[in-house]
Amino acid sequence: MLNLGPLALYGAALVAYIWHFVRRSASAGRAATTVLVFAALSHTFVIGMQTVEYGHVPMAGPTSYISTFVWLLALAYLYTEMTSDERGMGIFILPLLVALQVIPASVPGVESRSAVLEGPLFGIHVSSLLFAYASFALACVIGITYVLLFKEIKAKHLGVFYARLPSLQVLDRMNQRAIAIGWVFLTIGMVVGVVWAAQARAYDPATPQFQAMSLEDPKIFVALVCWAVYSFEVFAARRIGWGGRRAAYLSAVGFAIVLLNFVPISYFVTNSHKF
């Protein structure tokens, strides 16, 4: 229930970002950032407490890794906001933070993990992937804002987003950077995962989960699809003129797949990634 505190603060930050977006008041914007900083701090505290309690960073069960993911996404967004001095995207990021944080706040986070999950490789595997997913989430939101602004300029109706968002060029570059960073961590996370799975299989041949880890497992398969989509976006899209709006759509599609993997598949479908 510790996760309720950050949830409340994320909710308050969301309200402040909405207020900032509607009224375009600089003080509301600063207040929003301040509340978000406090939300992230309290979340850091919660995760720190759990780490002390369990003796490791909470990220083995779906409930706790969603919490860690929200925390990473909040930090990544705060970093973006502070380096670009643009607050117009907060109104798009915060709903995602609040919606996802509801899960760890309402499902009791029982964290028990088997001995096999204790090695450093598992930690690297999960934290790289969570960070990659946070980057992709950010890229998706930036992509959505790009499309909204693009449509306004193209349709010659300069309105809500025109007055509040940074330029298309800036959004495009931010999107590109977030995708590139995410791709690097996705790759690391997957490679480490393969190595770890091989070790685990040798270490504990009796556990059915380890034997089920193959391309036929939906979670692993979907992750590979993700990797293919983002690899295309990083290496090929711009060469064939798929910059700007198409890249933005692509990052939205990529993140939709990530989200699919993250929530429904983690909870209901996968037969190997359950601990």
Partner 1 sequence: MHLLLVGISHKTAPVELRERVDFQVHGLARTLAALAARGSTREAVVLSTCNRAELYVACDDVAATRADLVSFVGEFNGIDRPTVAPHVYDIVDLDAARHLFRVAAGLDSLVVGEPQILGQVKQAHTAAHDVQVVGPVLNRLFHSSFAVGKRVRTETSLGAGAVSIGFAAASLARKIFGDLRGRTVVVIGAGEMGKLTARHMKSQGVHQIIIVSRTMAHAARTAEAIGGATAAPWDEMDAALSGGDIVITATGAAAPILTKARVEAIMRSRRNRPLFIIDIALPRDVEPAAGEIEQVFLYNIDDLQATVRENLARRGSEVARAEAIVTEELDRFGAWLRSRGAVPTIVALRQHCENIRRAELERLDYKLASLPQADEARARVDEITRLIMEKLLLAPTEQLKSLGDAETVGAYSEALTRLFRLGDDDEQERGEGGDRRIAPFTRSKHRGSR
- Give the interface with partner 1 as residue ranges (CB under 8 A): 24-26, 149, 153-154, 156, 158, 162-163, 166-170, 238-246
CB 260 within 8 A of CB 205: no
CA dist 36 and 23 (Å) reads 19
Query: Which residue, 232 or 242, has its beta carbon nearer to partner 1?
Result: 242
Q: Rounded to the nearest whole angstrom, what is the least distance from the CB of residue 89 to partner 1 in the complex?
A: 15
Tokens representing 118?
């204790």
Q: Which amino acid makes up residue 215?
A: L
Q: How far is CA 239 from CA 57, 142, 150, 228, in A?
A: 40, 21, 21, 16
How far apart (Å, rounded) are the C-alpha atoms in residues 26 and 275?
46
Smallest separation (angstroms) from partner 1 to the CB of 87: 15
Nearer to partner 1, 113 or 173 (CB): 173
CB of 84 to partner 1, least distance (A): 11
Instruction: Choose between 114 and 167: whose C-beta lies nearer to partner 1.
Output: 167
Question: Using CA atoms, how far apart are residues 257 and 226, in angstroms rounded to an integer?
Answer: 7
> Of the two residues 161 and 262, which places its CB atom closer to partner 1 in the complex?
161
Closest separation in Å from C-beta 21 to partner 1: 13
Give min distance, CB of 24 to partner 1, in A: 6
Alpha carbon distances (Å) from 109 to 12, 46, 72, 151: 23, 12, 18, 42
Distance CA 114, CA 111 (A): 10
Nearer to partner 1, 202 or 239 (CB): 239
Are 236 and 184 contacting, i.e. CB atoms less than 8 angstroms apart? no
